[in-house]
């Protein structure tokens, strides 16, 4: 083989190797680094972290996990996000914004620093990232909360025979997930003229507050027949209040989020319905799409909906349903 030909072959081989490396890492020699910034300490967010870790291992992405805040709120979340961005080594950050509006400026600021953003579980603005003014996040990956609220309304209505007083226990008015659940529930019960919604209370994601608020609602309206707890702390507090009031089985409880506590309560007859979201998939998909975006220039769908699953006493022990429990 002529020397010049050999040089050409070696150069070609080196270029292919370099290109390959570039494709896998996004940047030659640099591993992709994604940051998962949970919104609060709860089993739902642990599941997102679990899914993210599995995808990061599969794709060889470095996953940085920030602290799990002890309470819900932009004032707690914003400094954490800023500190993570200030590390200077993050390519993509995914988080569940604690408020539709209050998180817009900080996420935009982080995006302008060159960090891609995916919101999981909750969104900012109106959640439609396909048009301005908020089109900078790569995607919103989360449940169709409005649809879930509508379906809960129909199922609860059936459980209470289509009539009577109902009550909603929820967390905050400015959080997209729970706000949509409440809106969907209100829409769903419009179909039942004999059902009256007697109150919606906000517990700021505190189970103790939820329990106290439901206890007070039951005192004010002893004839409440149905309660919708819009997330795990709301639902756990709600059923405890009903148990304490000696109304188990009399007041039907529809709950959101499949914690082990709520699943056991369903089995024990203290809760009547549990909607399981798919947080593991949310975390997995955030890392997977981020990886594809950087390495394959993939067009990330602006909205990804992993779906949900209903647990009832009939299916709660089905082997194939167990994967939906947050554990
Ligand atoms: O219901 C989830 C999540 O979807 C919501 O946005 C906040 O509350 C949970 O984390 C459950 O506590």
Q: Is 230 in the pocket of ligand 1 (CB under 6 A)?
A: no
Helix 279-296 and helix 43-59, axial crossing angle in degrees, nearest 10: 30
Q: Is 121 in the pocket of ligand 1 (CB under 6 A)?
A: yes
Higher pLDDT pick, 8 / 138: 138
For the chain, domains (ranges, CATH) are 29-143+279-307 (3.40.50.2300), 145-276 (3.40.50.2300)
Span from the CA of 192 to the centroid of ligand 1 (angstroms): 27
Q: Is 192 in the pocket of ligand 1 (CB under 6 A)?
A: no
Quick one: pLDDT band at residue 54, thresholds 50, 70, 90?
very high
The residue whose C-alpha atom lies closest to atom 5 belonging to ligand 1 is 177
pLDDT value of position 226? 98
Is the pLDDT at 56 greater than 70, yes or no?
A: yes
Paired with 202 in beta bridges are 170
**Residues of the chain above pLDDT 90, percent:** 91
Q: Is 231 in the pocket of ligand 1 (CB under 6 A)?
A: yes
H-type alpha helices, 60-206:
74-86, 104-112, 145-159, 176-189
Paired with 229 in beta bridges are 169, 255
Is the pLDDT at 28 greater than 70, yes or no?
A: no
Average pLDDT of every residue of the chain: 93
pLDDT value of position 29? 56
Is the pLDDT at 69 greater than 90, yes or no?
A: yes
The residue whose C-alpha atom lies closest to atom 7 belonging to ligand 1 is 231
Neighbouring CB atoms inside 10 A of 74's CB total 17
Span from the CA of 231 to the centroid of ligand 1 (angstroms): 5
Over the stretch 253-284, which tens digit does the pLDDT of each residue have? Answer: 999 999 999 999 999 999 999 999 999 999 99
Closest CA to 118 of 134, 141, 87, 145: 141
Q: What is the mean pLDDT of residues 112-117?
A: 98
Quick one: pLDDT band at residue 47, thresholds 50, 70, 90?
very high
The residue whose C-alpha atom lies closest to atom 8 belonging to ligand 1 is 231
């Amino acid at each position: 083989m002529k020397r010049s030909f050999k040089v050409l072959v070696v150069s070609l081989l080196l270029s292919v190797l370099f290109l390959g490396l570039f494709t896998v890492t996004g940047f030659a020699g640099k591993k992709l680094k994604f940051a998962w910034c949970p919104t609060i300490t709860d089993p739902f967010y642990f599941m997102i972290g679990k899914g993210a870790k599995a995808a990061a291992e599969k794709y060889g992405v470095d996953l940085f996990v920030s602290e799990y805040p002890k309470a819900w709120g932009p004032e707690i979340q914003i400094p954490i996000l800023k500190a993570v961005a200030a590390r200077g080594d993050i390519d993509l950050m995914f988080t569940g914004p604690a408020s539709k509006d209050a998180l817009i400026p900080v996420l935009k600021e982080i995006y302008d620093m060159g960090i891609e953003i995916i919101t999981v579980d909750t969104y900012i603005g109106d959640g439609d990232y396909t048009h301005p003014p908020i089109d900078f996040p790569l995607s919103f990956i989360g449940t169709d909360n409005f649809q879930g609220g509508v379906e809960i309304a129909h199922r609860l209505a059936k459980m209470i025979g289509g009539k009577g007083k109902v009550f909603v226990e929820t967390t905050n008015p400015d959080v997209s997930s729970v706000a949509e659940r409440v809106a969907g529930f209100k829409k769903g019960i419009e179909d039942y003229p004999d059902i009256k919604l007697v109150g919606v209370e906000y517990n700021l994601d505190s189970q103790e507050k939820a329990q106290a608020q439901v206890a007070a609602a039951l005192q004010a309206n002893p004839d409440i027949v149905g309660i919708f707890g819009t997330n795990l702390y709301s639902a756990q507090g709600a059923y405890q209040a009903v148990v304490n009031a000696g109304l188990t089985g009399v007041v039907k409880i529809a709950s959101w989020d499949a914690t082990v506590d709520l699943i056991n309560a369903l089995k024990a007859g203290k809760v009547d319905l549990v909607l399981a979201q798919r947080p593991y998939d949310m975390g997995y998909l955030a890392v997977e799409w981020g990886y594809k975006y950087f390495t394959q220039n993939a067009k990330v769908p602006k909205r990804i909906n992993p779906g949900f699953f209903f647990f009832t006493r009939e299916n709660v022990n089905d082997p194939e349903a167990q994967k939906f429990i947050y554990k």
